Structures are given as structure tokens and as C-alpha cells.
Amino acid sequence: MNTDIKIIPAQPTDKETLADIFMRHIEANREYISHGEIQMGVGVAVKMDDGSVRVRPADNGRQMWIKYITEKLNSSEAAVYKAVVNDEIIGFCIADIEEDGADPFGMVCDVLVKEGVRGGGIGGRLLQTAIDWFKSKGISEIYLESGKNNHDAHRFFEKRGFVKMSEIFRLS
């Protein structure tokens, strides 16, 4: 693990860079797109003639994602952390406290590390920072969701103690 990498809170001035990283990633890795991206208008699901569903970034996905990240950066119920090396943002994590359950719970909205620097422990450090933030807020129940074919991410989360709880369906 590179100790020169700092995990620090992101700032509103980082939103364009975070959007660049996010949009580049979902354009190249459509399996990352989950129901969350589709619900917020960042991604689009298209039902094919054979009944399968394909996902892709929405035409205005960047604009919608900047709206989303701006809300998270300005919320006291969310935390956005960035991984920085030599003043370059190489990854980020978004954590959000949800209050629509019996008790407030944590939602890891995104953990994303740039393609060329994956595998060095950065994603794990970002995720642990989010988990620590939740704990500091008294949150012990933590969830996340992931695109159904994002198998590398599924293994990453399972390795860190997350277990699959459900499937998401959409009427189309």
C-alpha cells in the first residue's frame, strides 16, 4: 500500500474532477451501472428485443451526476472522500446516512479507483474511511448496491465482509 496516498474529504471544487473519473469509468465499464445510477438519471436501461436489459450512461449523465455529487458534498448526512497522490485525485468514496428504515443506516454509494492504480489497496482504504465515518456517527448497519454484472466489485465487497442481501427488479 502506497503511504503517499492521502484519503481526505473531497471539496465542492473537486466535483468536476470526480465527475470526469466517474463518467470515464461508467463509459468503459457499463457493468458498474446499477439501479441507483438509473434512478438518478445518470444511467439508462434499455430492454432489448430478446428480453435482456442493457445499460449505458445517459446522454445528460454527467450533468445529473454533478447535481448528485454537489448535493452529497453539501450534506451533513453524507461524506465524500478522495484518494490523492501528488495532488491528483485517483479515487473516491461516497457515504450517505439514510433515515427511511427503523433506524438510520449507512449507504456506501460509490467506491471508485482509477483504472491504472487499482489493486494497491486504495479502494479498501476508501471503503474503510467510509465505514469509520459511519461508526463516528453511531451507524452500525451499512449497505451498498452494485451493478448486477460488476463481479470484481462484488468480490471486493465480499472480501471485506459484505454479504448479498437481495436482488433488484424493475418493471419495464
Query: Percentage of residues in the chain with pLDDT exceeding 90?
Result: 79
Closest listed residue to residue 19, CA positions, set 56, 55, 68: 68
pLDDT of residue 53: 87
Say which DSSP state 100 is in: S
Q: What is the CATH number of domain 6-159?
A: 3.40.630.30
pLDDT of residue 3: 61
pTM for the whole structure: 0.92
pLDDT of residue 60: 97
Cα dihedral across residues 34, 30, 46, 19: positive or negative: positive
Residue 72 corresponds to which amino acid? K
- For the chain, the domains span 6-159
For 139-168, how does the pLDDT look when each residue is reduced to its tens digit (9 = 90+)?
Answer: 999 999 998 889 989 999 999 999 999 888
Cα dihedral across residues 40, 17, 9, 92: positive or negative: positive
**1 pLDDT band (50/70/90 cuts)?**
very low
Round to whole Å and give the CA distance between 139 and 148.
Answer: 26
Round to whole Å and give the CA distance between 63 and 128.
Answer: 29
